[in-house]
Amino acid sequence: MPSLQNDRLLRALLRQPVDRTPIWLMRQAGRYLPEYRETRRRAGSFLALCKDPALATEVTLQPIARFGLDAAILFSDILTVPDAMGLGLYFVEGEGPKFERPLRSEWEIRNLSAPDPTVELAYVLEAVRQIRRALDGSVPLIGFSGSPWTLACYMVEGGASEDYRTVKTLLYTRPDLMHRILEVTTQAVIDYLNAQIEAGAQAVMLFDSWGGVLAEEAFKTFSLPYLARIVSGLRREAQGRIVPSIVFTKGGGVWLEDLASIGADAVGLDWTMDIGRARTLVGDRVALQGNLDPAILFAPPDVVVREACKVLEAFGHGSGHVFNLGHGISQHTPPEHVAALVHAVQTESVKYHQKA
């Protein structure tokens, strides 16, 4: 593999010195880009796009080519793991993901097993290999997975949910079955992320998208310990470099110090927490990623720039900050506003990394 020309992301995640703050965006390859919409049209469906390594490579590289971001993130979906477990993933236009066989019976839960990622998820690993070749050392590639709790929400509910009634009922009435799902899914995620690292991912991220819907005791019982188990099970080095890990719990600001203690290199923040206060709370234990409100990108470019500068100022001087949104970019975002954001971060952050 060629040497990495831009390693700002990896250095910042490890709190090593950088010349400016690196930036990438959650869901940076997506429907807000006309080139993505064209590739998806050619693929025929979202799932077909995910399962075609050449097209997944194409869309992964689109935002890098357009904006000059500091990292690429594998184009895939968190639900490929439960799909590989045999739950039958499909998508309904306007409704999102669904499962043909959600986990509702005790026997289904008892029979659940972790898939072999080199077999059932081989198409993802091939996409990782192809993306690495196509990037040719320009920027690092981030691999990712959903967290066990977040995956379990979809696996039990059968799709997206407004109130998480089914999965929370299971959690409180049959915690033994809930833990069974989480244990199997944890092993699946460890295997999956390590396979991505083996294939070429240079950093990995855990998306605990629905961790924030849990009560505190439930979060510390049914999400946090499984996140910690995954982090401890990850391969730490590949191709002579440390492979940093990022954990992101949407709505998890109240548990920031707990998340900072599980062994990950970085904690992602949603937009509800001041990043300066977060830095004070975690000290030098972890890097922080975030955390501009994605809705700010609907505002005119001058407002986008102003708000981006506020995030940079709030974090302050020194390394350990990866600029990102507080959640995924909206499909309605004007691409030129994203360009203004990236340019602002790449130019305005320099002063925070200069030695006095």
**Residue 192 known to be catalytic:** no
From 11, 15, 20, 40, the catalytic residue: 40
**Residue 77 known to be catalytic:** yes
| Residues near 51 by beta carbon (within 8 Å), at least 6 away in sequence | 123
Residue 187, annotated ligand binder?
A: no
Residue 30, annotated ligand binder?
A: yes
From 52, 77, 208, 265, the catalytic residue: 77
Residue 27, annotated ligand binder?
A: yes
**Residue 83 known to be catalytic:** no
Residue 105, annotated ligand binder?
A: no
Residue 134, annotated ligand binder?
A: no
From 8, 27, 229, 279, the catalytic residue: 27
Distances (CA, A) of 89 to 101, 102, 140, 155: 9, 10, 29, 10
Residue 193 token pair: 């992320």
**Residue 31 known to be catalytic:** yes
Task: Report the 3 state secondary structure along the chain.
Answer: CCCCCCCHHHHHHCCCCCCCCCECCCCCCCCCCHHHHHHHHHHCCHHHHHCCHHHHHHHHHHHHHHHCCCCEECCCCCCHHHHHHHHCEEEECCCEEEECCCCCCHHHHHCCCCCCHHHHCHHHHHHHHHHHHHHCCCCCEEEEEECHHHHHHHHHHCECCCCCHHHHHHHHHCHHHHHHHHHHHHHHHHHHHHHHHHHCCCEEEEEECCHHHCCHHHHHHHCHHHHHHHHHHCCCEECCEECCEEEEECCCHHHHHHHCCCCCCEEECCCCCCHHHHHHHHCCCCEEEEEECHHHHHCCHHHHHHHHHHHHHHHCCCCCEEEEECCCCCCCCCHHHHHHHHHHHHHHCHHHHCCC
**Residue 129 known to be catalytic:** no
Residue 92: φ, ψ to 5°: -110, 125
Residue 268: φ, ψ to 5°: -85, 140
From 32, 154, 192, 226, the catalytic residue: 154
Q: Which residues are annotated as a binding site for substrate?
A: 27-31, 77, 154, 209, 327
What are the residue numbers of the active site?
27, 31, 40, 77, 154
Q: Which residues are annotated as a binding site?
A: 27-31, 77, 154, 209, 327
